[in-house]
């Protein structure tokens, strides 16, 4: 009997491995990995994945942090691009459900849970991006009972596929505003995403604002100096970013393990990497659930290192064939570089640089 689900059959929440299988199949067949993963995102929608992240009292399933981290590892191993887009949508959902603007929160969440509202974030210019320039990337001035926003949010993933954007801007007195706005609001331009070293299909790039009017009813919280810290959420280097790095590394380790079945010279490396993968997974889940000491930053530093080492090991194992375009080892190597730059706190960048420079 054929146990494959039909294209129209909704995926059960519990059946994560079935979802991952379908994601992996779709991603493997996508044209050179450059096209927007619309079908993959539709699968997440059908599987009710967004509800995992929403508190029960707001209509969600409220999965625990460790359960989410474990799921992220699986999903990222199946399709890193789709899972990355998911994390940016989830970052927006978190900003929305922790908002103290209850009417806005309820309206947007209702749309998200019904599947007709999608939101992504453009907030890195408030934390990790453009910090050295001495002037805000996105400026707001208070006027006519609201705010006028001009500038750009330099990094926004998948804005072309969303109905709303969660964005920050800075006022002349140094306070920041954080708002949720419809992507088709007058004055907002969403250019085509960058051609990236990897994950180009995520359609990541700047979103431009030209005198965009933001009504106070669109503010997620009151203006504040460090507006992202008001909700108490982690803004960079969270365990979810580590989970994605581990998902990628897992794909590479599985590949080396498969190769080692008929190549004894690979056995020792395969076993060592598998052991490290299990140790890191255990550490990730313990830190996510708050039962282990250790910081997110130390974990992310080690995950970055592991993603780089395992993907390069997969290239060495794949030999010249791995260097030909289309082989997954080459793509994994490029994808691992992403973790050196995405949502990476300064302490993690510094630690990774020290490792690369051979400094203790």
Ligand X SMILES: Cc1cc2nc3c(=O)[nH]c(=O)nc-3n(C[C@H](O)[C@H](O)[C@H](O)COP(=O)(O)OP(=O)(O)OC[C@H]3O[C@@H](n4cnc5c(N)ncnc54)[C@H](O)[C@@H]3O)c2cc1C
Among 129, 150, 231, 276, binds ligand X (CB under 6 A): 129
Yes or no: say if 227 and 168 are a contact pair by the CB < 8 Å rule: yes
Neighbours of 163 (CB within 10 A): 15
Segment interacting with ligand X (CB under 6 A) among 94-102, 114-122, 220-228, 313-321:
114-122
Task: Output the smallest distance, CB 234 to ligand X, in A.
Answer: 13
Choice between 204 and 240, CB closer to ligand X: 204
Q: Does residue 154 interact with ligand X by CB under 6 A?
A: yes
Nearest to 91 by CA among 157, 163, 182: 157
Q: For residue 120, give the 3-state DSSP assignment.
A: strand
How many residues touch ligand X under the rule CB under 6 A: the total is: 22
Q: Does residue 252 interact with ligand X by CB under 6 A?
A: no
Among 218, 240, 269, 343, binds ligand X (CB under 6 A): 343
Segment interacting with ligand X (CB under 6 A) among 4-12, 196-204, 265-273, 352-360:
196-204
Q: Does residue 156 interact with ligand X by CB under 6 A?
A: yes
Q: Does residue 341 interact with ligand X by CB under 6 A?
A: yes
Choice between 242 and 277, CB closer to ligand X: 242
Q: Does residue 122 interact with ligand X by CB under 6 A?
A: yes
Choice between 66 and 348, CB closer to ligand X: 348
Among 27, 77, 81, 88, binds ligand X (CB under 6 A): 88
Phi-psi region of 252 (alpha: psi -120 to 50; beta: other; left: phi over 0): alpha
Side-chain-side CA neighbours of residue 28 (13 Å): 11
Q: Does residue 219 interact with ligand X by CB under 6 A?
A: no
Among 2, 29, 102, 132, binds ligand X (CB under 6 A): 132
Yes or no: say if 54 and 105 are a contact pair by the CB < 8 Å rule: no
Q: Beta strand pairing status for 204-214 and 188-189?
A: antiparallel
Assigned token pair, 273: 């990497």
Strand extents, DSSP E, the chain: 119-122, 138-143, 146-157, 164-170, 176-182, 188-189, 204-214
Segment interacting with ligand X (CB under 6 A) among 20-28, 116-124, 176-184, 211-219:
116-124
Choice between 117 and 162, CB closer to ligand X: 162
Angle at 94 between CA 89 and CA 95, to 5 degrees: 100
Instruction: Quickly tell me which residue has 């995950």 as its tokens.
Output: 303
Task: Output the smallest distance, CB 160 to ligand X, in A.
Answer: 12
Among 99, 128, 251, 296, binds ligand X (CB under 6 A): 128
Q: Does residue 99 interact with ligand X by CB under 6 A?
A: no
Segment interacting with ligand X (CB under 6 A) among 22-30, 124-132, 250-258, 283-291:
124-132
d(CA 328, CA 266): 18
Distance of CA 188 to the CA centre of its chain: 23
Q: Does residue 308 interact with ligand X by CB under 6 A?
A: no
Q: Does residue 79 interact with ligand X by CB under 6 A?
A: no
| DSSP state letters, 291-355 | -S---HHHHHHHHHHHHHHHHHHHHHHHHHHHTSTT-HHHHHHHHHHHTTTTT--HHHHHHHHHH
Angle at 147 between CA 142 and CA 151, to 5 degrees: 105
Yes or no: say if 246 and 303 are a contact pair by the CB < 8 Å rule: yes
Q: Does residue 333 interact with ligand X by CB under 6 A?
A: no
Segment interacting with ligand X (CB under 6 A) among 11-19, 36-44, 154-162, 266-274:
154-162
Segment interacting with ligand X (CB under 6 A) among 96-104, 149-157, 206-214, 351-359:
149-157
Please give the residue ranges that form the binding site for ligand X (CB under 6 A).
88, 120-124, 128-132, 154-157, 196, 199, 204, 338, 341-343
């Amino acid at each position: 009997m054929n146990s494959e689900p039909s294209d129209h059959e909704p995926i059960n929440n519990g059946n994560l491995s079935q979802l991952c299988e379908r994601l992996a199949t779709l991603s493997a067949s996508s044209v050179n990995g450059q096209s927007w993963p619309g079908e993959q995102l539709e699968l997440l929608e059908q599987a009710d994945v967004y509800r995992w992240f929403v508190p029960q009292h707001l209509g969600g399933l409220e999965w625990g942090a460790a359960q989410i981290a474990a799921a992220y590892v699986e999903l990222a191993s199946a399709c890193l691009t789709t899972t990355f887009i998911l994390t940016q949508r989830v970052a927006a959902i978190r900003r929305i459900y922790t908002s103290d603007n209850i009417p806005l929160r309820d309206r947007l969440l209702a749309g998200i849970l019904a599947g007709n509202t999608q939101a992504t974030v453009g907030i890195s210019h408030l934390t990790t991006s453009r910090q050295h320039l001495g002037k805000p990337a996105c400026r707001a001035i208070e006027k006519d009972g609201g705010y006028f926003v001009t500038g750009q949010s330099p990094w926004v993933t998948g804005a072309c596929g969303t109905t709303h954007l969660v964005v920050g801007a800075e006022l002349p007195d140094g306070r920041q505003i954080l708002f949720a706005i419809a992507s088709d609001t007058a004055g907002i331009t969403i250019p085509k995403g960058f051609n990236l070293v990897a994950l180009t299909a995520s359609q990541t790039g700047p979103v431009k604002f030209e005198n965009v009017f933001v009504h106070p009813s669109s503010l997620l919280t009151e203006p504040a100096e460090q507006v992202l810290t008001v909700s108490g959420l982690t803004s960079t280097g969270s365990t979810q970013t580590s989970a994605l790095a581990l998902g990628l590394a897992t794909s590479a380790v599985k590949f080396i393990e498969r190769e080692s079945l008929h190549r004894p010279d690979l056995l020792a490396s395969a076993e060592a990497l598998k052991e490290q993968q299990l140790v890191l997974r255990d550490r990730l889940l313990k830190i996510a659930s708050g039962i282990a000491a250790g910081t997110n930053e130390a974990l992310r530093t080690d995950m970055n290192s592991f993603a780089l080492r395992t993907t390069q090991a997969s290239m060495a194992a794949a030999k010249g064939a791995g260097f030909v375009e289309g082989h997954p080892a080459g793509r994994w190597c490029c994808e691992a570089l992403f973790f050196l730059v995405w949502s990476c706190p300064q302490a993690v960048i510094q630690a990774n640089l020290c490792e690369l420079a051979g400094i203790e």
